[in-house]
Amino acid sequence: MTLRDLVLVRLGVAVNLVIGQIAAALLLPVFLDAVGTILVAALVGPRAGIVAGLVSQVLMAALSGNFSWLPFGIVQVVIALYAALAARLGAFARARTAIAAGLGLGLVAGSVAAPIAYFLFGGATAGGVTVVTTTLRVLGAPLPVAVAAASIGTDVLDKSIAFALVAAILRSLPDQMKARFPVVSR
Amino acid sequence: MTGSSSGGSPLHRAHPYTPLALAGALFLLAFAVSTPRAVGLVVVAGVVLAAVGGVLRHVLRPALVLALPTWGLLLVLHGLLGADPRVVVGPLTLSEPGLARALVLGGRIAAILVAFLTALATVSPPRLVEAMAARGAPFGLIFLLVSTLTLVPRMRARAAQVLAAQQCRGLRIGGSPLARLRALSPLVLPLVLGALAEVDEQVLALDARGAVIGGRRTVLHPPPDSALERVLRWGLLLGILAAYGAKLARGGA
Amino acid sequence: MKAVVRLRDVTFTYPGAARPALAGLTVELLRGEVAVVAGPAGAGTSTFLLVAAGFAPRLTGGKLTGERELLAARAGIVFATPWTQLSGLCASVRDEVAFGPASLGLPRETVLTAAERAMRRAGAEHLAERDPAALSGGELQRVVVAAALAPAPDLLVLDDPAAELDPAGADELYALLPVLAATGVAVLVATPDLERAARAATRALVLDAGRIVADGETATTLDGTDVAEIARAAGCPVPLPLDVPGLVGRLAR
Question: How does A3-37 read in b/e, with b if 16+ C-beta sit within 10 Å?
Answer: bbbbbbbbbbbbbbbbbbbbbeebebebbbbbbbb
Among A41-45, B152-156, C204-208, the range scoring the smallest mean pLDDT is B152-156
- B16 within a domain of the structure (yes/no): yes
The amino acid occupying position B248 is L
Q: Are residues B49 and B113 in the same domain?
A: yes
Asked if C61 lies within 8 A of A179 by C-beta distance, the reply is: yes
- Measured in residues, chain A has a length of 186
Q: Are residues B96 and B58 in the same domain?
A: yes
Domains identified in chain B, total number: 2
- B94 within a domain of the structure (yes/no): yes
Percent composition of chain A: helix, strand, coil (DSSP 3-state, to 5): 80, 0, 20
Domain of B151? 137-208
Rounded to whole angstroms, how far apart are CA atoms B155 and B195? Answer: 8
Nearest neighbour of C87 by CB, restricted to B147, B148, B216: B147
Judge whether B147 is closer than 8 Å to chain A, CB to CB: yes
Looking at the predicted structure, is the pLDDT value of residue C91 above 80?
Answer: yes
Q: Are residues B81 and B151 in the same domain?
A: no
| Strand segments (E) across B49-203 | 86-89, 92-95
Contacts with A185 from chain C: Cβ below 8 Å:
16
Q: Are residues B62 and B181 in the same domain?
A: no
Q: Are residues B97 and B164 in the same domain?
A: no
Average pLDDT for residues C122-143, to the nearest whole number? 90
Mutate to test the interface with C, among B128, B150, B218 (most CBs of C within 10 A): B218
- B4 within a domain of the structure (yes/no): no
Asked if B220 lies within 8 A of C77 by C-beta distance, the reply is: no
- B67 within a domain of the structure (yes/no): yes
Contacts with B157 from chain C: Cβ below 8 Å:
none
Q: Are residues B98 and B49 in the same domain?
A: yes
Q: Are residues B95 and B157 in the same domain?
A: no
Question: What's residue B50's pLDDT?
Answer: 94
Rounded to whole angstroms, how far apart are CA atoms C206 and C223? Answer: 11
Question: How does C47-56 read in b/e, with b if 16+ C-beta sit within 10 Å?
Answer: bbbbbbbbbb
- Reported as a single tens digit per residue, the pLDDT across C5-34 is 999 999 999 988 889 999 999 999 999 999
Q: Who has greater pLDDT, A52 or C231?
A: A52
Contacts with A6 from chain B: Cβ below 8 Å:
140, 143-144, 213
Q: How sure is the predictor about B1, in pLDDT bands with cuts at 50, 70 and 90?
A: very low
Residues paired with B94 in a beta bridge:
B87
- B131 within a domain of the structure (yes/no): no
> B58 CB contacts (<8 Å, ≥6 apart)?
B5, B117, B121
Looking at the predicted structure, is the pLDDT value of residue C94 above 90?
Answer: yes
Rounded to whole angstroms, how far apart are CA atoms A108 and A16? Answer: 19
- Reported as a single tens digit per residue, the pLDDT across B166-190 is 888 888 777 787 888 888 888 999 9
Cβ B39 vs Cβ B103: under 8 Å: yes
Question: What's residue B148's pLDDT?
Answer: 87
- Domain parsing of chain C, residue ranges: 74-153
Among A30-34, B12-16, B20-24, C155-159, the range scoring the smallest mean pLDDT is A30-34
Q: Enumerate residue ranges in chain A where pLDDT < 50.
A: none
Looking at the predicted structure, is the pLDDT value of residue B224 above 70?
Answer: yes
Domain of A104? 3-185
Q: Who has greater pLDDT, B128 or C220?
A: B128
State whether ipTM is beyond 0.95. Answer: no
Average pLDDT for residues B223-240, to the nearest whole number? 94
Question: What's residue C247's pLDDT?
Answer: 66
Judge whether A176 is closer than 8 Å to chain C, CB to CB: yes
CATH number, domain of A50, equals: 1.10.1760
Q: Are residues B107 and B190 in the same domain?
A: no
